[in-house]
Structure 1
Amino acid sequence: MLDNPLAPPWLIRPGDANTLDQPLWPATARRTPSGELEIGGVVASRLAADHGTPLYVVDEAYARARAGRTREAFVSAFAAHGTSATVYYASKALLTTEIARWMMEAGLRLDVASGGELAVALAAGVDPARLGLHGNNKSLAEIDRAVAVGVGTIVLDSVAEVERVAAAAHRHGRTQPVRLRINSGVHAHTHEYLATAREDQKFGIPLADAAEVVSAIREHDSLRFLGLHSHIGSQIFRVDGFLEAARRLLAVHAELLAGGDVPELNLGGGFGIAYVVGDEPPAIEDVAAGLADAVADVCRELGIPMPAVAVEPGRTIVGPAGITLYEVGTTKDVAVALEDGGSAVRRYVSVDGGMSDNARPALYGADYAVRLASRSSSVEPVLVRLAGKHCESGDIVVHADWLPGDVEAGDLVAVPATGAYCFSLASNYNYLTRPAIVAVRDGAARTLVRRETEHDLLRRDTGFDPTDDQGDTE
């Protein structure tokens, strides 16, 4: 077997291109005796036949298990130091009414960041007291609704929001619990667009201004200050950034105790997952234990009680539980010139989706893996680039991986670790309809969100005649 010089250094040519490398895939993913991919006891061909492609598939049992495991990790780690931990599911990762219910049944709370996410949570029957509202530019209507329904906490992201939330709470005769989001200045080891605590950006207030803003919060009888909040970024493998953020916030937390109660500290989320072979994110138990030990150590140094702690993971819960199924259309070998004057071949495998169902590669240069799903093959692997069908050269789903050399039109392929931020970022670019989301468990599949139809797209167009049957085509 010869390596392809176009392959990135981290991508090792597999001995068997049919292998499902853990931990990229959901726990129930396996090859059937016939070679087909099966998840949750349901084979890929059945999912595609019943629900079409592209198709988001979520391993329900695995998502629920990861939610429970995450909660247990943080509760246990902080209980060992004599304090409590609350886990909010960051719903921006993936939200449907059913998934909201899964999180509630696992004992988590829910973090929402818009009026729309709040509406989904309420439609799911989530107790508003178990919700936290985020957002750097909450509208007056969003604030008013959150206060009116009794949202458990609102994260204040600016000085202006102090007055806005206080006024809404006064109007509704409520005392609204709030947190204050702090820009800690910690530079997380992640993509520039995913680092959310650097100095020059839209989120939070500077650490140096925290005492003044908290004083303003405490002047309002309609507000109850819970504590500081930090979120340093997303898809982070190294724990040191979280530890430094905790250290910086606790120093301010200690000063704030002189002016009143500060019952909690929220350290946000952003814990990373494996997307490709070689990714080695820390186990969530290790993350939780590291944070708990660090918070305990700093509190001991400062001579203050250890606060209750809250965290907001999303990707680490649902990301590994999801895959996306596609059908292959065109394959094309492209000769690429090399610096030494030679050339190498990259095979473009185009599928029936793309950046409209997974924007992360185009946004962040994110890497993913891919495997044949409708069959296995003993043909030698070739280096492929999985491309979408949109009118953009950057419409890439998988930049580089190995597939059997006989991959062809009509094959189903699966991309793992797409449970987070794929459906959430989906669009209708080129008027593609957004895929369905299907949950699989114990050999059964059920639709969580139905596939869009062209009629769905056209009915918002005021020039469309809804009696025109052409609008009903999927």
Structure 2
Amino acid sequence: MRAHPAGPLHGGITPPPAAGAPPAELGALDPQVWPRSAERIGGELHLGGRSVTDLARAHGTPLFVLDEDDFRGRAADFATAFAGADVHYASKAFLCGQVARWIADDGLHLDACSGNELSLALAVGFPAERIALHGNNKSLVELRLAVDAGIGHVVLDSFDEIDRLAPLAAARMDAGGAPVPVLLRTTVGIEAHTHEFIATAHEDQKFGFSLAAGDALEAARRVLAEPALHLAGLHSHIGSQIFDTAGFEAAAHRVVGLLADIREATGEVLGELNLGGGFGIAYVSDDDPVNPADIAARLRTVVAAECAELDLPVPRLAVEPGRAIAGPGTVTLYEVGTIKPVRLGGGGASGTTLPVRNYVSVDGGMSDNIRTALYDADYTCVLANRTSDAPPALCRVVGKHCESGDILVRDLWLPSDVQPGDLLAVAATGAYCWSMASNYNYLLKPPVVAVRDGVATEIVRRQTLSDVFALDSLLAGRPAPSPAPSQPAPEHAAGARS
């Protein structure tokens, strides 16, 4: 699926499907999509016991509102379902100091995909032995940081990486340290039923050692020949936002087969098998994600069966949920600015009434949620500060960037009386929204506020123009204009509780 920069009517691209019939109840909160604490009180959306109007008044918009109990509850669901295995939070979904502490306190492991993610985890005191470092192009600096910190696993992704890591590991052993534990990321050739850009196990892509080409077995031989490296096991990841567990089961079949091949070729029996993440969540009511207990049961069953057939001991399992923990519990609040009715279909016959789509512009956009533009992602959105009995209107929620593709929700029904100053809430924005945020058009990255039991705590403060100016050699140190009216007053600075 590809997007044309001028929109779907250009370049011969088929327009996306329409929004369908209006729902029976505009503004209804599907519990599969919205945070566990989401409810309407007096018509107004409340999250974690706080009204969205109060949150917007205190912290400004756009605003990420994270339901702490939802986040930690989903982490606990995976930990319970995979008891006896290792649950790694995939921090690329969303990472900040407070999230890293929650994950540490709740006993989960953590995956870092860069040296900077690793540095953040170490800075907040995350136990190094429960951290794994991913990445297809780890630098010497990143590998040295991982080795010096004594992290739990380095997930090797290429032959070059083996060559880079081996001398660092040898130096650690010479200083009296233990061998560095590693996993081999294997490309198992499974096509995930997802978007092309987030399907990661087919052969023609940048990650891992190819199983079909024999690279994975050769990598195992090379690692086993390095005394300073300990080949702990194998890693496989087939993609993201996947609802069908058949792909995971097929991947498990192939990677267990590789365990048998390694035993036959080298005599080594590896003790760990990380089957990655990619478990889907519900962005819209039509999505049907698999719950953690079912995922765990199916993966345990297929791994046990494959190991029995090949006369292998069952390895210790690990999984890497990121989106499935962080995604559903966060909502983004926006303030409506401009509303523009647009008649669809160009010229019509005389007397023909053309359908109208309302373009509802908000004060954020692709700088805080690039996923719709990048992946054709679907989202759910509601009028949040009130309910309305007005008839439904076909709408498209768009941002304020200088891009026609700056779309947050492509087609949905909102009350026809939505007006400037209203608040809209977009559900399930906890994964890959703040993490992929940018300063396009010099917009500023929104804050993240955690809510729980009626208390709101700013865990990531709003970026200021002075923060951005500080990176500019000409503007550094110069005063920036005052915050826009939608931004919070000074008493709501970072760490403030309201």
TM range (shorter): over 0.9
Q: CA deviation at 1:261?
A: 3.0
**Unmatched 5+ residue regions in structure 2?**
1-14, 488-498
CA shift in 2, pair 1:134/1:339, >3 Å: farther
Tell me which residue corresponds to 1:321. Answer: 329
Q: CA deviation at 1:172?
A: 2.4
Which AA in structure 1 matches 2:416? G
Decide whether the 8 Å contact of 1:10 with 1:278 is kept in 2: no
Decide whether the 8 Å contact of 1:239 with 1:287 is kept in 2: yes
- Please give the secondary structure, in 1, of the residue aligned with 2:344: strand
Tell me which residue corresponds to 2:27. Answer: 18
Tell me which residue corresponds to 1:179. Answer: 183
Decide whether the 8 Å contact of 2:19 with 2:413 is kept in 1: no
Which AA in structure 2 matches 1:215? R
Decide whether the 8 Å contact of 1:369 with 1:400 is kept in 2: no
Tell me which residue corresponds to 1:382. Answer: 393
Aligned-partner Cα distance in 2 for 1:275–1:227: 34
Which AA in structure 2 matches 1:460? L
**Structure 1 residues 89-148: Cα deviation after superposition (integer angstroms, max 9, x where no partner):** 000000011111111222210000001101110122101111000000001100011100
CA shift in 2, pair 1:32/1:215, >3 Å: same
Tell me which residue corresponds to 1:222. Answer: 228
1:112-261 paired onto structure 2 within 5 Å = 112-173=112-173, 174=177, 175-207=179-211, 208-258=214-264, 259-261=267-269
Aligned-partner Cα distance in 2 for 1:423–1:18: 24
1:256-335 paired onto structure 2 within 5 Å = 256-258=262-264, 259-335=267-343
Aligned-partner Cα distance in 1 for 2:209–2:444: 39
Aligned-partner Cα distance in 2 for 1:443–1:220: 55
- Please give the secondary structure, in 2, of the residue aligned with 1:22: coil
Decide whether the 8 Å contact of 2:190 with 2:202 is kept in 1: yes
Tell me which residue corresponds to 2:100. Answer: 100
Tell me which residue corresponds to 1:3. Answer: none
Q: CA deviation at 1:470?
A: 3.2
Aligned-partner Cα distance in 1 for 2:483–2:359: 32
CA shift in 2, pair 1:378/1:215, >3 Å: same
TM-score by length of 2: 0.90
Tell me which residue corresponds to 1:360. Answer: 371
Decide whether the 8 Å contact of 2:466 with 2:479 is kept in 1: no
Tell me which residue corresponds to 1:81. Answer: none
Decide whether the 8 Å contact of 1:166 with 1:222 is kept in 2: yes
- The partner residue of 2:428 within 411, 417, 428 is 417
Which AA in structure 2 matches 1:464? L
Q: CA deviation at 1:465?
A: 5.0
**Structure 1 residues 440-468: Cα deviation after superposition (integer angstroms, max 9, x where no partner):** 00000001100001101101101015143
Aligned-partner Cα distance in 2 for 1:297–1:200: 30
Decide whether the 8 Å contact of 2:241 with 2:278 is kept in 1: yes
- Please give the secondary structure, in 1, of the residue aligned with 2:332: strand
CA shift in 2, pair 1:96/1:469, >3 Å: closer
Aligned-partner Cα distance in 1 for 2:482–2:450: 28
**Structure 1 residues 51-100: Cα deviation after superposition (integer angstroms, max 9, x where no partner):** 1100011000110010000111122xxxxxxxx31110000000011111
Aligned-partner Cα distance in 2 for 1:339–1:366: 30
Which AA in structure 2 matches 1:138? K
Identity over aligned pairs, percent: 51
- The partner residue of 1:48 within 49, 56, 62 is 56
- Please give the secondary structure, in 2, of the residue aligned with 1:243: helix
- Please give the secondary structure, in 2, of the residue aligned with 1:337: coil
Residues 324-333 or 281-290, more deviating: 281-290
CA shift in 2, pair 1:146/1:405, >3 Å: same
Q: CA deviation at 1:198?
A: 0.9
- Please give the secondary structure, in 2, of the residue aligned with 1:401: strand
Tell me which residue corresponds to 1:336. Answer: 344
**Structure 1 residues 376-431: Cα deviation after superposition (integer angstroms, max 9, x where no partner):** 11111111100000000000000111111100100000000001000000000000
Aligned-partner Cα distance in 2 for 1:311–1:129: 16
Q: CA deviation at 1:245?
A: 0.5
Say how many residue pairs are matched. 460
CA shift in 2, pair 1:264/1:352, >3 Å: same
CA shift in 2, pair 1:371/1:436, >3 Å: same
- Please give the secondary structure, in 2, of the residue aligned with 1:439: strand
Aligned-partner Cα distance in 1 for 2:16–2:172: 60
Q: CA deviation at 1:285?
A: 1.2
Aligned-partner Cα distance in 2 for 1:462–1:472: 22
Q: CA deviation at 1:338?
A: 7.8
Q: CA deviation at 1:287?
A: 1.2
Aligned-partner Cα distance in 2 for 1:471–1:163: 52
Aligned-partner Cα distance in 2 for 1:50–1:472: 14
Aligned-partner Cα distance in 2 for 1:166–1:444: 49
Q: CA deviation at 1:11?
A: 4.2
**Unmatched 5+ residue regions in structure 1?**
1-5, 76-83
Aligned-partner Cα distance in 1 for 2:38–2:157: 41
- Please give the secondary structure, in 2, of the residue aligned with 1:419: coil
Which AA in structure 2 matches 1:151? I
- Please give the secondary structure, in 2, of the residue aligned with 1:241: helix
Tell me which residue corresponds to 2:91. Answer: 91
Which AA in structure 2 matches 1:295? V
Decide whether the 8 Å contact of 1:7 with 1:383 is kept in 2: no
Decide whether the 8 Å contact of 1:184 with 1:197 is kept in 2: yes
- The partner residue of 1:58 within 51, 66, 73 is 66
Decide whether the 8 Å contact of 1:130 with 1:152 is kept in 2: yes
Which AA in structure 1 matches 2:458? T
- Please give the secondary structure, in 1, of the residue aligned with 2:355: strand
Aligned-partner Cα distance in 2 for 1:17–1:138: 48
Aligned-partner Cα distance in 2 for 1:120–1:53: 26
- Please give the secondary structure, in 1, of the residue aligned with 2:34: coil
Decide whether the 8 Å contact of 1:11 with 1:277 is kept in 2: no
TM-score by length of 1: 0.94
CA shift in 2, pair 1:105/1:47, >3 Å: same
